[in-house]
């Protein structure tokens, strides 16, 4: 009888161990996708751009909602991409070689030297804006103050309001666009500005009754421009001048990112002067401050600029090369610079893109060979592909 009880006890212990082992296997299976699962093919869990490498190429990574809101609430992502983010309830970017190349240059660069200008170029729709967005995410996470212009051609083609600049004869002011940009700057950099507590180096007199004394915080300067729209353009110029001085003094580091930079060198804008003549970009008050900060006369910063055919108007879209789009004056302004060519998807990136949209149920119709048809019709151009899958 005693022997039977011992054996029964041994069996009970073995049974309990087996149950624990099975539970552990179930937990592990739930926590990690099965080997060869589709998610491993087009997603990466590495969400910090500073840790991206060749291992993550052609994979999507997620930007947390609060970071996406802080960095891109004022622009920086294509409108159709924004719509997809709302539909999918997640913000995902594909890790691509142009962004990795640019990040590698920035991480290995010497910030004590004059700023290096990087120029993104390529055909329409190849992903220059999203490459810039990837690098902006890196900058925000690594304590760069962001000086970001989401799409410079909007100022030259579709300004909210244009008026004669007070005290600057022949100049055109865009006060509402300047105020909107200051709001964007404050949203992107508010927490970092609070932490750094940067101060102005001189007094700014706006009128007989209004001034910003030396030693005021940069946040006070920004808020003045937002509250007093009349002085928004002057405030923007003052802010950028202060950032250059503070950065050179080592009190902060600055990342300049301007999409459609060649708009500053277009022969004409779509803004009319009082005599009904189209004005040139150099007569717009917002132009000079952003040309100043893309000079190489300051340190502790980096400039990422894109040139784009659609930043131009009809008759000026024959080539996507920087020399053509910038013109002689713009090319000389940036020379020397580091060109970054953004091309169409590779085969691996194309397949990753299709897998992601199948996973999100954005593509519902999948007849045999549909992916090859999409590849042929889009020529693996990211924007063309995005347009085509809308109907699937």
What confidence tens digit (pLDDT) does each residue in 40-49 have? 589 999 999 9
Q: What is the CA radius of gyration of the chain?
A: 26
pLDDT of residue 29: 30
pLDDT of residue 35: 36
For the record, the structure tokens of 126 come out as 């190849």
pTM: 0.88
Q: Angle, nearest 10°, between helix axes 175-196 and 65-72?
A: 130
Are the C-beta atoms of 281 and 260 separated by less than 8 Å? no
Half-sphere exposure of 317 (CA within 13 A, CB side): 10
pLDDT of residue 390: 78
Q: Tell me how far CA of residue 45 lies from CA of 40, 55, 95, in angstroms.
A: 9, 12, 12
Supply the mean pLDDT for the chain.
88
First to last CA, the chain: 73
pLDDT of residue 5: 44
Cα(87)–Cα(89) distance, integer angstroms: 6
Are the C-beta atoms of 304 and 260 separated by less than 8 Å? no
State how far Cα 253 lies from the chain centre.
17
The strand pairing partners of 340, in sequence order, are 120
Cβ neighbours, 10 Å, residue 176: 15
């Amino acid at each position: 009888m005693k022997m039977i009880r011992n054996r029964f006890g041994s069996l009970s212990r073995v049974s309990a161990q087996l149950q624990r082992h099975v539970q552990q296997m179930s937990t592990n299976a739930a926590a990690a996708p099965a080997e060869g699962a589709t998610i491993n093919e087009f997603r990466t869990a590495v969400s910090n751009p500073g840790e991206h490498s060749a291992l993550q190429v052609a994979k999507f990574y997620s930007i947390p909602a609060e970071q996406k809101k802080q960095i891109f609430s004022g622009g920086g992502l294509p409108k159709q991409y924004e719509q997809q983010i709302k539909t999918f309830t997640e913000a995902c970017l594909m890790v691509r070689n142009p962004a990795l190349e640019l990040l590698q240059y920035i991480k290995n660069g010497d910030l004590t030297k004059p700023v290096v200008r990087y120029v993104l170029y390529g055909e329409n729709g190849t992903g220059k804006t999203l490459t810039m967005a990837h690098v902006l995410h890196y900058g925000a996470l690594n304590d760069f103050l962001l000086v970001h212009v989401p799409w410079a051609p909007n100022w030259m083609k579709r300004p909210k309001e244009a008026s004669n600049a007070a005290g600057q004869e022949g100049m055109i002011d865009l006060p509402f666009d300047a105020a909107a940009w200051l709001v964007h700057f404050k949203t992107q950099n508010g927490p970092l500005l609070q932490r750094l507590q940067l101060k102005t180096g001189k007094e700014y007199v706006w009128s007989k009754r209004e001034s910003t004394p030396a030693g005021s915080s940069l946040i006070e300067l920004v808020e003045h421009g937002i509250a007093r729209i009349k002085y928004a353009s002057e405030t923007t110029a003052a802010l950028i001048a202060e950032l250059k001085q503070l950065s050179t003094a080592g009190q902060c580091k600055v990342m300049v990112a301007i999409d459609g930079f060649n708009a500053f060198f277009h022969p004409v804008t779509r803004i009319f002067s009082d005599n009904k003549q189209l004005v040139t970009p150099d007569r717009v008050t917002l132009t000079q401050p952003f040309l100043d900060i893309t000079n190489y006369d300051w340190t502790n910063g980096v400039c990422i600029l894109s040139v784009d055919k659609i930043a131009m108007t009809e008759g000026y879209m024959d080539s996507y090369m920087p020399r053509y789009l910038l013109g002689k004056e713009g090319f000389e302004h940036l020379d020397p610079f580091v060109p970054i060519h953004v091309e169409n998807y590779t085969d691996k990136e194309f397949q990753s893109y299709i897998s992601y949209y199948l996973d999100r149920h954005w593509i519902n119709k999948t007849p045999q060979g549909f992916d090859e048809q999409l590849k042929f019709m889009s020529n693996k151009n990211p924007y063309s592909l995005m347009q085509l899958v809308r109907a699937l």
